[in-house]
Amino acid sequence: MSRDLDIACGYKARPSGWLNSIFMETVNMAAKTLVSVASNSKAENPEKWKAADHLRFMVMLMTWFTVWVLRALVDHFPFNIGSQQCLAGGLSPAGSLDLPPPPPSSALTTLSSPSSSWDLIVHEDVDVPSVKALGRALSHVLALLNEIPATSRKYQFAMAMADKIIEENSRDGHPELLHVNRTALAAAFDRTASLLYSSLQRGSYKEEDDYSSSGWHMRAVRTFPLGSYLTSYVKGLSRVLGIAMSLVDGSTWGSQKKRAGGVGGEGYHGDYYGDVLAEKLAQELLWLTTKFRAHGDICEAFEQWSYASGLAAVSLTATPRVQGFIVKISAILITEMATENLKVRRQIKFRLLVLWLPLLCHAGNGVAYPVLTSFEKLELERAMDEVISSLPAMDQEVILTNWLQDFAESPSDWPNLQFTYDRWCQFTRKLAT
Query: What ranges in 267-343 are assigned the alpha helix state H?
Result: 271-295, 298-306, 309-314, 320-337
Inter-residue contact 271 to 206 (CB < 8 Å): yes
Q: Which of 182, 175, 176, 138 is nearest to 159 (CA)?
A: 138
The predicted pLDDT at position 185 comes to 95
1-14 per-position pLDDT tens digit: 444 444 444 444 44
27-73 per-position pLDDT tens digit: 677 677 666 666 655 555 555 667 777 777 777 777 767 777 777 77
Lowest mean pLDDT among 16-20, 200-204, 331-335, 382-386: 16-20
144-201 per-position pLDDT tens digit: 999 999 989 999 999 999 999 999 999 988 999 999 999 999 999 999 999 999 999 8
The predicted pLDDT at position 146 comes to 94
The predicted pLDDT at position 108 comes to 35
The predicted pLDDT at position 421 comes to 95
359-386 per-position pLDDT tens digit: 999 987 554 555 788 899 999 999 999 9
The predicted pLDDT at position 62 comes to 77
Between 207 and 417, the more confident residue is: 417
241-281 per-position pLDDT tens digit: 665 555 554 444 444 444 344 444 443 444 445 788 999 99
The predicted pLDDT at position 91 comes to 37
| % residues pLDDT > 70 (the chain) | 58
Whether the predicted model's global pTM rises above the 0.85 cut: no
Considering the chain, what is the average pLDDT of its residues? 74
The predicted pLDDT at position 297 comes to 81
Terminal CA-to-CA distance of the chain, rounded, Å? 91
Between 108 and 104, the more confident residue is: 104
DSSP string, 377-408: HHHHHHHHHHHHHTS-HHHHHHHHHHHHHHHH
The span from the CA of 177 to the CA of 173, in Å, is 7
The predicted pLDDT at position 196 comes to 96
The span from the CA of 429 to the CA of 7, in Å, is 91
Hey, how many other C-beta atoms are within 10 angstroms of the C-beta on 314? 20
Sign for the CA dihedral angle at 322, 325, 327, 330 comes to negative
The span from the CA of 288 to the CA of 194, in Å, is 14
The span from the CA of 266 to the CA of 258, in Å, is 11
Inter-residue contact 248 to 255 (CB < 8 Å): no
Q: Which of 193, 126, 164 is nearest to 333 (CA)?
A: 193
Q: Which of 185, 17, 189 is nearest to 98 (CA)?
A: 17
Residue 294 has pLDDT above 50, yes or no: yes
Confidence of residue 422 (pLDDT cuts 50, 70, 90): very high
Query: What ranges in 104-152 are assigned the alpha helix state H?
Result: 105-112, 114-123, 131-147
The predicted pLDDT at position 23 comes to 64
Crossing angle of the two packed helices 175-212 and 271-295, in degrees rounded to 10: 160
The predicted pLDDT at position 336 comes to 93
